[in-house]
Chains A and B, each alone.
Chain A
Amino acid sequence: MTLDPFTTAGLVGLSGALLGIGLFGIVTRRNFILLLVAIEIAINAAVLNFVYFAAFASNPSSGLNGQSAAIVVIGLAATEIAVGLAIVLALNRIRGSINVTEATALKL
């Protein structure tokens, strides 16, 4: 793969910052909707990596490999959000609270 090391560092800086923001949100936010948002940010960091590396791949088949992976990860992340919302709605119905600390005895 012929990636320019300088620009790769910049890209990993960008996607790393996004992943960091997502992880920060997952660790510190207690509202379930915010947790879902944080999870989306973290997964989007991975998608960005795939798209970027695919754009500068050394040959077409390698690039198509990355773009296909990006498409599949996008679909997966959307499905995860739907499952998360289903859990939160069911919990909201019986407990009336969607804050993680109120809902669980132990912290993460």
Chain B
Amino acid sequence: MNGITTALEFLPEILVLAGALLVLLLDVVGVRRLEAFGGVIVAAFGAALVAILADLSVAPFAGWSTLPAGSLDVGPVGGSLYAFTSFGLVFQGIFLSAALLVAVASLSRTSNEKGASVFYALLGIAALGMLLVAVSADLIFLLLSLEVTAISSYLLVGYTRRESRGLEAAMKFYIIGALSAALSFYGASLLYGAYGTTSLAVIGHSYPSGGLGPLAIVGYAFLFAGIGFEVTIVPFHAWAVDVYDGAPTDVSAFLAGGTKKVGLFAFFAVFLVPLLLIGGGAATASGSFRDSLQILIAVFAILTMTIGNVLALMQDNMKRMLAYSSISQAGYMLLGVAVATSAALTGATLQIFAHVLLKGGAFLVVAAAAGLGVGPMIADWKGFGHRRPVLGASFALMLLGLAGIPLTIGFVSKFILFAATVQAEGLFLWLAIAGLLNSALSVFYYARVLRTMYAESPEGALTPTEEVRGLAFDGLGLGRAVAIGAAVVAIVGFGVDPQPLVQVMQAAVQHFVTLGI
């Protein structure tokens, strides 16, 4: 009975794991078709997403929940390794949307490509690691789940084993990932030394009474650096551009839209609990510690935004420009952590979801364009808007969304985030001003791409570099067309009517603030 309850609690994870195992099994028995592997993983991701939405009681799946009744209304039990919270479930939904977009888009890659089974199996395992990060209530559980995702993503980056670019990016990613793991585990070991446990809930609750010793402070500093590498906080950001640039573009979409967000959730879980709890029932001494921690994170947020934006302005390569803009977006999300009110957290969560759709979608369009024969430089996109009106318009919409133009989800998330920052008053007013200035700055490089795409006329003819599977959609491929189309619909849909999405996220953040991770 206990085993069945656990299995039902972990239903989404089990579905994804079963998908990954089935793909490897199909490979062993001799199936070689990309559609078979892709179909299994897409089905597994889709079923898991339905299970998560059901657990969150989202219509029309409400009532299908497999969690024991009322289990979302209690906080994590001290000492338990994992906990199901509505905040975690919302993030599971975000992670799975990213993975699902990439899985669908990859269906239209070159036919009978070698390694399709390994690609989809690793995508499944990486997604599984992401799901597990979102339920962790223990430091070691969290870091191990991060490693599941990390190790699968090194291999995903290098899975085109005949191209040295991908393998070089994989090597660089691996070195940075191993460095980040070493720093994180060292920090975790110091926290264990300070509190005698690795349970996040117990560690978080020891603050008000026990305070922070030197061991704990140094431990948190190491964890900040280790997780900072994953989230690409400046000064731990330099690797991301090379890796996103060198990886196969489908995988870049997964890294920017998916694995980076996992690091952000880890950041929330490790750092927000002390921030919120100390602020909760605190003596004045720990209150001042909270203030200085907030200012520290705010400084990192501003640095990350500004440096990411300035470097993005100077890029001539499309993927590198998107990668730097991705770094600056991490700064906006950190802003929510620094402010640490429930409104700001709602904004940050929305921003993360928006970034999955906008940046993940943009990388998918770049992948599709590369298949159509567009070169890697921004100048190669000359007249793309005239050449491919629909695809060009989708890309333009995504860039406008990233810049925060109204009627896209990017506007909604930035609006809520900045409004919450202004409401927090005091020093945070400056934070909001810095954020707005950065948003204005980012408009420049997005506008530059738009001008190249629309104001300049195309030169020469494009020669497609890829053969496309199945229904061609004018050389685009069915999978990519569906994935990009779904992203566009979600960007506009949630941009015009954000209310349902905002309500779910507000409720989840409220749970998180009152119950903890």
Mark A residues whose CB is within 8 Å of B: 1, 3, 8, 12, 15, 19, 22-23, 26, 32, 35, 39, 42-43, 45-47, 49-50, 52-53, 57-59, 62, 65-66, 69, 72-73, 76, 79-80, 83-84, 86-88, 90-91, 94-95, 100, 103-106, 108
Q: How far is the CB of B233 from chain A (nearest CB, A)?
A: 17
Are B174 and A84 closer than 8 Å at their CB atoms?
yes
12 new A-B contacts, CB < 8 A, other than A76-B181, A87-B174, A94-B162, are A1-B193, A1-B196, A3-B193, A19-B182, A43-B181, A53-B192, A65-B192, A87-B158, A88-B171, A94-B161, A104-B168, A108-B238
The residues of A that contact B197 with a CB separation of less than 8 Å are 62, 65
The residues of A that contact B178 with a CB separation of less than 8 Å are 26, 39, 80, 84
Are A87 and B193 closer than 8 Å at their CB atoms?
no
Q: How far is the CB of B279 from chain A (nearest CB, A)?
A: 26
Are A58 and B185 closer than 8 Å at their CB atoms?
no
Q: How far is the CB of B138 from chain A (nearest CB, A)?
A: 9
CA distance A67 to B419 in the complex (A): 47
Q: How far is the CB of A41 from chain B (nearest CB, A)?
A: 9
Task: Output the residue of A52, A79, A86 with the most chain B CB within 10 A.
Answer: A86
Mark B residues whose CB is within 8 Å of A: 140, 144, 147, 151, 154-155, 158, 161-162, 164, 167-168, 170-172, 174-176, 178-179, 181-183, 185-186, 188-190, 192-198, 215, 218, 238-239, 242
Knowing A3-B193, A8-B215, A26-B175, say if A103 contacts B168 (CB, 8 Å): yes
CA distance A80 to B193 in the complex (A): 25
The residues of B that contact A76 with a CB separation of less than 8 Å are 144, 147, 181
The residues of B that contact A84 with a CB separation of less than 8 Å are 174, 178
Are A49 and B186 closer than 8 Å at their CB atoms?
yes
- Is chain A's interface secondary structure helix, strand, loop, or mixed overall? helix
CA distance A57 to B197 in the complex (A): 9
CA distance A23 to B229 in the complex (A): 14
Are A69 and B242 closer than 8 Å at their CB atoms?
no
Q: How far is the CB of B164 from chain A (nearest CB, A)?
A: 5
Q: How far is the CB of B121 from chain A (nearest CB, A)?
A: 15
Are A62 and B154 closer than 8 Å at their CB atoms?
no
Knowing A53-B189, A104-B172, A106-B242, say if A1 contacts B167 (CB, 8 Å): no
Are A73 and B171 closer than 8 Å at their CB atoms?
no
Are B168 and A91 closer than 8 Å at their CB atoms?
yes
Of chain B, the residue at the smallest CB distance from A66 is B192
CA distance A46 to B140 in the complex (A): 12
Are A45 and B168 closer than 8 Å at their CB atoms?
no
Of chain B, the residue at the smallest CB distance from A107 is B238
Knowing A65-B197, A90-B161, say if A83 contacts B154 (CB, 8 Å): yes
Q: How many inter-chain contacts with C-beta < 8 Å in the A-B complex? A: 126
Are B171 and A32 closer than 8 Å at their CB atoms?
yes
Which 5 interchain pairs have the tightest Cβ spacing?
A49-B189, A42-B182, A53-B193, A62-B196, A46-B185
Which one of B167, B172, B185, B215 contacts A90 once the chains associate, using CB atoms below 8 Å? B167
CA distance A47 to B242 in the complex (A): 31
CA distance A12 to B188 in the complex (A): 13
Are B151 and A79 closer than 8 Å at their CB atoms?
yes
CA distance A15 to B167 in the complex (A): 33
Q: How far is the CB of B313 from chain A (nearest CB, A)?
A: 19
Are A46 and B151 closer than 8 Å at their CB atoms?
no
Knowing A45-B186, A108-B239, say if A100 contacts B192 (CB, 8 Å): no
Are A50 and B151 closer than 8 Å at their CB atoms?
no
Knowing A53-B192, A73-B185, A91-B171, say if A104 contacts B242 (CB, 8 Å): yes
The residues of B that contact A100 with a CB separation of less than 8 Å are 171-172, 175
Are B186 and A69 closer than 8 Å at their CB atoms?
no
The residues of B that contact A94 with a CB separation of less than 8 Å are 161-162, 164, 167
Q: How far is the CB of B126 from chain A (nearest CB, A)?
A: 13
Are A69 and B198 closer than 8 Å at their CB atoms?
yes
CA distance A42 to B179 in the complex (A): 8
Can you list 15 pairs linking A and B with CB atoms under 8 Å apart? A8-B215, A12-B190, A43-B185, A45-B186, A49-B190, A57-B196, A65-B198, A69-B140, A80-B178, A80-B181, A83-B174, A84-B174, A87-B158, A87-B170, A88-B171
The residues of A that contact B196 with a CB separation of less than 8 Å are 1, 53, 57-59, 62, 65
The residues of A that contact B161 with a CB separation of less than 8 Å are 90, 94
Of chain A, the residue at the smallest CB distance from B186 is A46
The residues of B that contact A43 with a CB separation of less than 8 Å are 181-182, 185
Knowing A53-B192, A65-B197, A100-B175, say if A91 contacts B164 (CB, 8 Å): yes
The residues of B that contact A35 with a CB separation of less than 8 Å are 175
Are A19 and B186 closer than 8 Å at their CB atoms?
yes
CA distance A73 to B481 in the complex (A): 43
CA distance A49 to B176 in the complex (A): 22
Knowing A22-B182, A90-B158, say if A108 contacts B193 (CB, 8 Å): no
The residues of B that contact A88 with a CB separation of less than 8 Å are 171
Are A72 and B140 closer than 8 Å at their CB atoms?
yes
Are B179 and A87 closer than 8 Å at their CB atoms?
no
Of chain A, the residue at the smallest CB distance from B185 is A46
The residues of A that contact B174 with a CB separation of less than 8 Å are 83-84, 87
Q: How far is the CB of A73 from chain B (nearest CB, A)?
A: 6
The residues of A that contact B215 with a CB separation of less than 8 Å are 8, 12
The residues of B that contact A58 with a CB separation of less than 8 Å are 196
